[in-house]
Structure 1
Amino acid sequence: MSVNITTTRLTVRCASQHVRAGTPTCKRRSFWNTVFSKPAAVKRRARREEESPALPTPTREYHPTPIPHETIVHSPANAGQLDAYSAKTIAVSIDDTPRTFDTVFLRDSCTCPRCVDPDSRQKLFQTSDIPQEIEGKARTVQDENKSWVIEVEWQNDVPGYGAEHRTRHSLNWLRRALNTEVELRGGVRYDDRVLWDRDTITKNNKWIDYKDWTGDDSVLFDALTHLNKYGLLFLKNVPESEESVVNIAGRIGTLKDTFYGRTWDVRSKPKAENIAYTPQFLGLHMDLLYTSNPPYLQLLHSLRARTPGGESFFSDSFHAAQKLEEASKTHFRTLCTFPVTYHYHHPTYHYHYTRPTIELHPYPKYSEPTNLALHRVNWSPPFQGPFEARIGGESQTALRNYLAASHAYEKILSAEESLFEYRLNEGECVIFDNRRVLHARRAFDATKGERWLKGAYVDDDVFFSKLRVLEERFRGGGLRMGL
C-alpha cells in the first residue's frame, strides 16, 4: 500500500508539551483553534492583521489548562507526524468531532495479515493476549486512494510481535465502528425498526414479484431491508409448485428443519395434531415458542384458496409492547419478568420451554440506542402449557398481576386499529418475523373448497447473514472488512 507522508511541523501533542515546559512555541495554531475554529474566521483574522499590523506588545507567558486528549487532526499539514509520547487512548477528529478510542480496541481490531488470516478472515491472536500495559503512538497518513488512515505504533505489544508491527484503521472504518457493532450484535439497529398499526402497514406494505425476488439481488436487498424494518413482506406471481417456498426461502439461506419437516402443509385434516390443521379460528400467536430457538422467519405460500373465510391477519407485538409501556410501566415490567410455559406434548414429541412475554435486549448499555430495549416478544396462547405449580400456589399475587397485564396487552394487540387483515390468494406468499409479528387466521368452511398453504422457516442467523452480505455489497457496510 502506498502512503503519502509529509513531515512538516510539530504534532499538536508536541506543541502542547513545549508550551507547558515554558519553551518558545512553534508557529502553529493552538489545539482548540486547530480542531474547532472555522476556516473563514481564521482567514478574516489573518486579513485584519495584514491590514492593521499590531503594535509590539510585551511577551506574555501562556499557561493553558491541561486537556485530556489532543485530537489527531487530518490535513496535509499534519500528515506523517507521529505522536510525541505513547498513550492508552488515542483521540481522532471524525466529522469535526473528537472521538476517543482505547488502544486495546484499536489493537484488538487490527486486520494486518499477521493478525487476521487474509483468506479465512479469522483472528490469529486472542484478545487476552493483549497486555494491559499496551500503549500506542499514532500518526495520520494517506493511502493510495487519498483516504485518511490512522497508523498506530505500539508500545508493549502482543508477545511475539516485533517493534515493526503497525496497525492501520481508516477514518471510514472508525466512523462505522462507532455504530456498526450496535447493528451487528443484535442483528438490527432497533432505531431503524418501524413500529406499525393498521394504517402504517397498509400505507407502507411492499409487494415483490417472484421473478424479481429470485433473479435480482438489488430487489432482494431492498425486500430484506423492508422485512427487517417492518417484519412483514408479500410476494406475488409465485409458481404453483410445492418447491416454490423452498426457492423463496433459499434466496435467504438454509431452511430451518423442525419436527414438522423442512417444509410443511397447512390444510384441514381429521384428528389434526396442530390446531393450525383445522378449520377453526386460530388467534394471534407465534410458532414454536416451546423450543429453545424458535424460528425467526415464517413463509406461507398459498397453493389453494377456495374456501369462504380463512383470512389471515397480523399484529405488530413490538408496537403493542411500546403502547403498553406508555400506558402502564407496571404491566410492562410484569410481562418482562413473569414466566409463561409453552409446550407441545404428544405421544411422539414433548417440547417444553418457559420464557417471559417480553424480553429486553441483554446489552442495553452498549447495543440499544433507544430507550425501550425490546429484543423479543413471546405470545402464543394456543400453545401455552400450565403455569409452574408454585406460581398458582404460593405466588398468587404474581399470577394475578400477570393476568391483569396480559389482559391489557391482548387488548392492544387485537384492537381494530392494530390488525392488518389480508386473504392470501393463490400464487401469493407472505413472509413475516415470527419473533415480532403475530399471525392469526379466521375460521373457514372446509366443506366448500380447499385451503392449502405451504410453509417453511428460516433462522435469524441465516437472515441477518444474508442481509449483511447484501448491505456490504450495495452500501459498502460491514465492520471487519479491513481498511
Structure 2
Amino acid sequence: MSSNFTTKLSLRSLRLQATGACRPLTAAQRRRFFFNSFSRSPKPAEHADWSPATHGPFRPTKAQEQLQEQLRQPQEQEHLVHDASNIGQLDGHPAKSIAISIDGDPKVFDAVFLRDSCTCPRCMDPDSKNKLFQTCDIPEDLEGSCKTVVDEEKGLSVELEWKTDVKGYGPDHRTRHSVDWLRRAFNTEVGIRSSVRHDDRVFWDKNKIEKNNKWLDYDAYMSQDETLFDALTHLNRYGLLFIRNVPESEESVVSLASRIGTLKDTFYGRTWDVRSKPKAENIAYTPDYLGLHMDLLYTSNPPHLQFLHSLRSRTPGGESFFSDSFAAAHQLQRQSPSHFRTLCTFPVTYHYHHPNFHYHFTRPVIDLFPYPKYSEPTNLAIRRINWSPPFQAPFEARIGSSNSTALRSFVAASHAYEKLLSAEENLHEYRLNEGECVIFDNRRVLHARRAFDATKGERWLKGAYVDDDVFFSKLRVLQEKFEGSWVADGVVRHAVR
C-alpha cells in the first residue's frame, strides 16, 4: 500500500457527551459516520442559485440531487482519498496527509503539522508550555492515522497514532487535538493566506477625535482590568488616550506604564524628564517650538507607546498637539498615488550622533505590511509611519549623484504629506494640566509642542516608553479574558481548549 494514502475522518453526525475519560467510538457509530457522510439530503440553500436559464427548465428532484452528490463527491475528494479501502475508515491506513471532517467538510492537514502541534506532557512541558522536541526532529517520512474520541477536557477530539515517530517516542505515544482547535488552525491559515486583515483602527481628524476621545480616571485604570482593557482597546483604535487625577509623584508614570508591562529602558533612562535646560542634548529639552515627530526612529525598534505625565504646567505656552499620521497617509494616497508610492519606497536616514551615543537607522516614511497582496504600495495596509524631521540625518541613498530624480520626488511627496499632517482640521491641540497624563501610539500619532516662556514659570513632564510586544501581549490577554478571542497578524483567533 502506498504511503501517500490519506485517512478520511467523518465527524458530521457525532452527538456524544463527554462522560469522563476519553473513549473511542463504537462500531455502530463508525458505520453511521460513513453512511451519513455520503447520503445526505440537500439543504434548501443549495437551490438558491438555481435558475431555468442556467440549469435547464426543470428543477432536479431530491433523488437526482443525491445521485449527483454521490457522483460528485469522489471527484471532489480524489485528492484526499486514493484508495477505496480507505474511504470512511476511522482507523485508516497511515498517511502523510489526513482529512478531518469539520462542520461537514473535509479539511486536509499535513501529518507533520499535527505531530508538531502535540501538547501531551511528553511533547510540551505542562508548566512552562515550552516544546520538548524540535520540529527538525520529525522524520520526513512521518505518517499518521486517527480516530475520534471525546476528551473530558477538550471535548470532541481527534487522536492520532504515529508511524515512524520522533526518535525516543515509542508506539504508545498519542497526539490529541480538539476539533475546535483544528477549526481555528484551519481558519487562521485561510485568514493569513487571504491577505485580508482584521483592523480596528479608526482614522481621525480634529472633529472625530474631539468627539470620540477618551479620558479615564487614574484609580480605575490602575485597579480595574475592565478599565485597562477599555484603555488599551481605545489606544489600539485611535492611538491617543488621556488619564486624569494622576498622583503628583515622579513614580506615577512608572505605575501607569507598568500596569501594561515592562518599561522600555533607553539611553535616556527608564524614565526621563522633559524640561528646559541649557545646552540640551535634545530639542525637546528646550523651550523652542518642536514640530510634529515620533521618538527614537534612529533605533531598530522604536517604542510603541509614549507616556507624558504633567508634573508642572506653569508657563505661558507649551501646548501639545497631535496628528493621526495614518489618516493623513490615506488622504495623500487619494490625492496623489505617486506621492504615496514615493513615501513607501524612498529611504530616509535618522540618527542620534553624540560623543557617548551613536544611533543610526534608515527606513521609508510609510511602512506597509509584508504580504504579497500589499507589495503594491497603493494597497493601504499601513503597518506604521516613520516621520521625525528633527532627527533626520543627511540622505545616504538616491542623493542625485547618478542623475536620479528620486530625491526631488521625495521632497515633493514629503511636502504634500506635511501639509496634510499639520492642517488645522487634522490637529488635536491640548495643554496638559498638572495631574494629567497623555498616552499615545508613537508609531502612528505624531506629537508636537508650541514654544513656551521658561522665564515665567516651570514646565515639567515625566516620560516613559513601552514596546509594541509588551502592549500587544497585555491587549491579547485582556481580549481573551473579556471577549473570548484575540488578534495577531491581522487574524482573529477564538479561544479554544
In which range does the TM-score fall when normalised by the shorter chain?
Answer: 0.7 to 0.9
How far apart, in 1, do the equivalents of 2:190 and 2:220 lie?
31
Partner of 2:430: 422
Gaps of 5+ in 1: 16-27, 42-53, 73-79
Q: Which residue of 1 aligns with 2:395?
A: 387
- Taking structure 1 as reference, are residues 38 and 288 closer, same or farther at Cα in structure 2, changes over 3 Å only? same
What is the match of residue 75 of structure 2?
A: 66
Residues 314/39 of structure 1: CA separation in 2 closer, same or farther (3 Å cut): closer
Q: In the aligned structure 1, how far is the partner of 2:302 from the partner of 2:191?
A: 21
Q: CA 1:274 to 1:30, structure 2 compared with 1: closer, same or farther past 3 Å?
A: closer
Task: Render the CA deviation track for 1:101-148: whole Å, top value 9, x for unaligned.
Answer: 333222221111111111111111111222333333333332226832
Aligned to 1:255: 263
| Pair 1:351-2:359 in alignment | yes
The 1:413/1:99 distance shift into structure 2, 3 A limit, reads farther
Aligned counterpart for 1:3 among listed residues 11, 17, 22:
22
Contact 1:226 1:233 in 2 (8 A): yes
Q: CA deviation at 1:257?
A: 1.3
Relative to 1, partners in 2 of residues 1:155 and 1:39: Cα closer, same or farther, differing over 3 Å?
farther
Q: Greater shift after overlay, 442-451 or 3-12?
A: 3-12
1:33 and 2:40 equivalent?
yes
Bigger drift between 295-304 and 152-161 goes to 152-161
* SS, match of residue 329 in structure 2: helix
Among candidates 232, 249, 255, match of residue 224 of structure 1: 232
1:91 and 1:98 in contact (8 A); partners too: yes
- The match for 1:172 is 180
2:109 paired residue number: 101
User: What residue in structure 2 maps to residue 438 of structure 1?
Assistant: 446
* SS of 2:443 mapped into structure 1: coil
5+ residue gaps, structure 2, are 1-19, 48-61, 82-87, 487-492
Report if the CA contact (8 A) 1:296-1:434 is conserved. Answer: yes
Deviation, structure 1 residue 441: 1.2
| Percentage of pairs with the same residue | 68
Asked whether the 8 Å contact 2:25–2:148 carries over to 1, the reply is no
Tell me which residue corresponds to 1:283: 291
Give TM-score scaled by structure 1 length.
0.81
Secondary structure of the residue aligned to 2:360 is: strand
Contact 2:180 2:496 in 1 (8 A): no
Distance 2:137 2:204 in 1: 47
Rounded Cα–Cα distance in structure 2 between residues aligned with 1:100 and 1:335: 42
- 2:219 aligned residue: 211
Task: Give the corresponding residue for 1:125.
Answer: 133
Is the 2:94–2:143 contact (alpha carbons within 8 Å) kept by the matching residues of 1? yes
Give the letter for the 1:278 counterpart. Answer: T
Residue 226 of structure 1 aligns to which amino acid in structure 2? H
Query: For the Cα contact (< 8 Å) 1:111–1:482, is it kept in 2?
Result: no
Q: 1:278 to 1:366 in 2, by over 3 A?
A: closer
Aligned equivalent of 1:20: none
Q: Is the 8 A contact 1:210 1:235 kept in 2?
A: yes
Check 1:349–1:220 CA distance in 2 against 1; reply closer, same or farther (3 A cut).
same
- For 1:323 and 1:179, how far apart are their aligned partners in 2? 33
Alignment-derived partner of residue 123 in structure 2: 115
Q: Given that residues 266 and 277 in structure 1 are in contact (C-alpha distance below 8 angstroms), is that contact kept between their aligned partners in structure 2?
A: yes
Kept in 1, the 8 Å contact 2:325–2:421? The answer is yes
Alpha-carbon distance in 1 for matches of 2:249, 2:122: 51
Q: Aligned-residue CA RMSD in angstroms?
A: 3.6
Deviations 1:334-391 (A, max 9, x none): 2122111111222332222111112222345699xx9533222110001111111762
Instruction: Summarize deviations over 1:305-343 as a string: whole Å, max 9, x none.
Output: 222222211112222223323333322222122111111
Deviation at 1:39, TM superposition (A): 11
